[in-house]
Amino acid sequence: MLNVNGDAVLATLRTLAGFGAVGSGVCRPALSPADLAARRWLAGEMERIGLRATIDAVGNLYGAAPGAGRSVLIGSHSDSVPTGGWLDGTLGLAYGLEIARAWMEARPGAPVGIDLIDFSDEEGRFLSCLGSRSFCGDLPGLPAGFAEEAASAGLDTTGPGTAPPIRLDPQRHRAFFEAHIEQGPRLEAAGLPIGVVTGIFGMRRYAVRFDGRADHAGTTPIALRRDAARLLYRFADACHHRFRQTGSTDSVWNLGKVSLQPGAVNVVVERGELLLEFRDLDPAALDSLSAALAMLVDEFDGQEGVRVSLEEAGRLAPVSLDAALQGLVADAADARGAGSMPLPSGAIHDAMVLARSVPTAMLFVPSIGGRSHTPVEDTRAEDIVLGAHVLAQAVFACADSL
């Protein structure tokens, strides 16, 4: 049986953590000097183990197994949020590098290869999952500011020397695997080291607007005010109660941003805006939550002299991952004597984009305290190494079946 070197995985992770290091965390936004330096270092590592590395105009880094007509693709991302942790995204890349090395060393020149890809801007500095969308041909145009930033980083997106976009090839790329830290508490709470991801939550995002009237805060009686802020806060509290009654047991929601105008302590608030989102794997649950939100808007509209309106700000359909590949991950965990559990992902990953075009699987390892997108993000070294062995066995089984 092919094996991977856990120490090599940990060494790769520690090296990547040095790019953009800030204390125990990292600051490596897409196209930043730290991001490009990490990608160029990883490109060198790909070449060292025998992959052919290319960075395209959007920053995707792809390592292709030479001579292979078919491949299993492993990937994730090396960009980070501004105050991120050391494992978000890089875990899957470190696994992929070591798995590709082990496969090429054991089976040089094999007709089936293992390719590795580091997607650009998964975290959404310019556009969430920009790199994987480009890879799958689902990027109609570059977002505002991207071309200028790419040019300053040395990536030509428009000129005659532009690197052609790296694209998914259905004849070559027969399956996609992404390993990731869970970024939540379920595995740790269950005392299990491996999560077999069943699907990735869909999302609905809305802006709720409140239009009242500005008045002097010292002279206008409370009963006569058309206070947009007061109604907004009541509405927000009602959302929590209504969503608990409406959503599924897996539903999550967040009332993440409030803005008030004119924003002066001595002026009654004239306009307010509440940005919120909810997520679930079940489309019916998302529809129910959307309907509940619309009903609340109707109920609150006109109360206290304030008009309330609703606008959809974005949506993503939920995605189910490939059942056969999930089985390979679960079987690999069993073969290693590692307890596993099926669970959905509430976070968006590049796998969500890939799953619409190619059979896709994800593996999770536990996050200590369920923490992520923070410098305290961490996973036990033994869980990192075990996850590498489990993913390797699943990938090798998949490659052997092609």
Helix (H) or strand (E) holding 116: strand 112-119
pTM over 0.95: no
Rounded Cα distance between 329 and 397, Å, is 9
- How do the domains of the chain map onto residue ranges? 6-201+318-401, 202-316
- In the chain the first and final C-alpha atoms are separated, in Å, by 17
Residues 267-284 as b/e (b if ≥16 CB within 10 A, e otherwise) read bbbbbbbbebbbbbbbee
Rounded Cα distance between 15 and 7, Å, is 12
User: What is the pLDDT, as a whole number, of residue 53?
Assistant: 96
User: What is the pLDDT, as a whole number, of residue 155?
Assistant: 79
Reading the chain (402 residues) residue by residue, the pLDDT tens digits are 588 999 999 999 999 999 999 999 999 999 999 999 999 999 999 999 999 999 998 999 999 999 999 999 999 999 999 999 999 999 999 999 999 999 999 999 899 999 999 999 999 999 999 999 999 999 988 888 888 888 887 776 555 455 678 999 999 999 999 999 999 999 999 999 999 999 999 999 999 999 999 999 999 999 999 999 999 999 999 999 999 999 999 999 999 999 999 999 999 999 999 999 999 999 999 999 999 999 999 999 999 999 999 999 999 999 999 999 999 999 999 999 999 999 999 999 999 999 999 999 999 999 999 999 999 999 999 999 999 999 999 999 999 999
User: What is the pLDDT, as a whole number, of residue 156?
Assistant: 63
DSSP 212-247: ----BTTTS-GGG---HHHHHHHHHHHHHHHHHHHS
CATH of the structural domain 6-201+318-401, one choice from 3.40.50.720, 1.20.1560.10, 3.10.129.10, 3.40.630.10: 3.40.630.10
Ramachandran category for residue 276: left, alpha or beta (phi over 0 → left; psi -120 to 50 → alpha): beta
Contacts of 76 (CB under 8 A, 6+ apart): 89, 90, 91, 92, 93, 96, 118, 119, 122, 178, 179, 180, 349, 350
User: What is the pLDDT, as a whole number, of residue 3?
Assistant: 86
CATH of the structural domain 202-316, one choice from 3.30.1280.10, 3.10.129.10, 1.25.60.10, 3.30.70.360: 3.30.70.360
Alpha carbons within 13 angstroms on the beta-carbon side of residue 236 total 20
